[in-house]
Chains A and B, each alone.
Chain A
């Protein structure tokens, strides 16, 4: 039987990764972060190898972390695609010539190797892949958002590892990102590539005003058309993640990088003239039509 591993660098990752593995009782964890991260990883695992990076970056310890995984010849390791985990999996996979697969949503462990389901082609396909152990798997961030750990689960031992950091990377400064207001907003109107004119953007702004909503959008919607300040926040995988009651998406197709940003919204509304827009498959409500036609009617209905 293969040995399942989770590799975590941020809080909330452990429980989601264990769910992906089917919560096997024998999973082991490699945690690079503060003591609380290791304690969280100990919930539901048989033991944790822990590296405390203190004031250094987690990826500075990639080589030491990789050694822990290399010691396990039949590891099926899963992690989020953070810089540290990508580095660790790269080192190990290159050394033992083992497969690496991204966007994994489910892992089926068996005697004769491993099968995984992963999303492909912009999340339009779920592929089942077969591979031998060891294998190194990166989680699909749309399907597996970090969640709170189940503190009632049994706790494994935490084994600290002393390691010297790499001197290649130095963290010169880490400036907290001031809240944009989007994270805690109740209502958000988002614009995408379909809002490509001043006229359409003015309608989006009027709709946001009528709802008392914040106005933002996808990376191209915010950055490509000059509607927003140059450094304005956008919604998505590398941007802000919303927890709004209502998100109204105007002219947004629903590409994979945008979806993690709206996964925690209670109600998602898609308004798009393309009835095949991917976002209709992730929204609760929708109207197929041109924003120039629909937005004024919505504003009127809200008044």
Chain B
């Protein structure tokens, strides 16, 4: 099973400095892989390894392209002049440029971050694939070589799904990355082939930011001093919360 792994396509919120008026400043304008990307990479590599296939990465923008190769991808396609947009459709169009250039695959696998939850659906549509979102893990279907068996959790149930390829699988992390690559893997990944594609950045974005502010904060009542714990317990008892 050949897999295209779409990764590293959003900014790290920790790299964004928020001023008091809600305006922001990027400390470094580079894209990073998320926990969801890591879960997607683990899922993609498990599928490929179990079936003798390969994983090819597809990414956009600045940042570390070798991230996917350090986690098992053989190569990557990068459209480094395309960056994420306020309009998630445009972000998906940029990712589609990289994913198409990465070649045909049985499944496209990507992280499913809640902060940009609309990207996966548009990317699936642009690649003419059905979307299966919220997946937590996947394995080949032993009874049907063109299918995978995936699991996901809803509010009330654990669903077991049989998904026929090709499809776009959006993976949600249920834990932080467990097998973080070591220095040896990271150095080797830097030597893996990267195919650069010259994506055309969209000149116009349909979405424009016209104002920003910090949310009205309801700061907790802070207990201080040596009696803080006793005062907190007393407050909770007065509220009949204990």
Contacts and interface: CB of A to CB of B under 8 A. Distances in A.
Contacts of B123: 90
A153 interface: no
A129 B207 contact: yes
A95 B92 CA distance: 13
A125 interface: yes
A224 B131 contact: no
Interface stretch (A17-25, A37-45, A115-123): A115-123
Nearest to A91: B125
Contact of B210 (A94, A129, A172): A129
Nearest to B117: A81
Contact of B157 (A115, A128, A174, A269): A174
Q: Which of A138, A168, A176, A289 has the most CB of B within 10 A?
A: A168
A125 B24 contact: yes
Interface in B222-242: 222-224, 228-230, 232-233, 235-236, 239-242
B209 interface: yes
Interface stretch (A28-36, A156-164, A194-202, A279-287): A279-287
B163 interface: yes
A152 interface: no
A100 B87 contact: yes
Contacts of B241: 245-246, 266-267
A126 B215 contact: yes
A285 B156 contact: no
A97 interface: yes
B118 interface: yes
Contact of B229 (A125, A187, A298): A298
The bracket for how many chain B residues form the interface is 35 or more
B212 A128 contact: yes
Interface string B191-234: 00000000000000011111111110111111110001110110
Contacts of B223: 285-287
B167 interface: yes
A144 interface: no
A169 B130 contact: yes
Given A59-B131, A100-B89, A174-B159, A168 B167 contact: yes
Interface centre among B149, B152, B174 (most CB of A within 10 A): B174
A166 B130 contact: yes
Given A89-B118, A285-B220, A62 B131 contact: yes
A99 B206 contact: yes
A216 interface: no
B174 A246 contact: no
Contacts of B149: 172
Interface residues of A, number: 87
Contacts of B183: none
Interface string B158-174: 11111110010010111
A197 B232 CA distance: 25
B153 A177 contact: yes
Contact of A169 (B132, B176, B230): B132
B210 A90 contact: no
B210 A130 contact: yes
A3 interface: no
Nearest to A87: B131
Contact of B153 (A59, A126, A223, A238): A238
B228 A287 contact: yes
A32 B140 CA distance: 29
A154 interface: no
B18 A169 contact: no
B133 interface: yes
B175 A223 contact: yes
Contacts of A298: 229, 232-233
Contacts of B133: 59, 82-83, 86-87
A287 B132 contact: no
B208 A100 contact: no
B178 to A, nearest CB: 9
A103 B219 contact: no
13 contacts: A83-B134, A101-B118, A125-B18, A127-B212, A130-B207, A177-B158, A211-B242, A219-B173, A238-B172, A257-B114, A287-B224, A300-B229, A301-B232
Interface of A: 10, 57, 59, 62, 81-83, 86-91, 93-95, 97-103, 115, 119-132, 136, 138, 141, 166-177, 187, 211, 219-220, 223-224, 237-238, 241, 245-246, 256-257, 266-270, 280-289, 294, 297-298, 300-302
Interface of B: 13, 16, 18, 22, 24, 86-89, 92, 114-126, 130-134, 149, 152-153, 155-164, 167, 170, 172-176, 206-215, 217-224, 228-230, 232-233, 235-236, 239-242
Given A283-B220, A285-B220, 14 more contacts: A86-B117, A90-B131, A99-B206, A122-B13, A127-B212, A129-B209, A129-B210, A130-B208, A220-B175, A237-B114, A245-B241, A246-B241, A298-B232, A301-B233
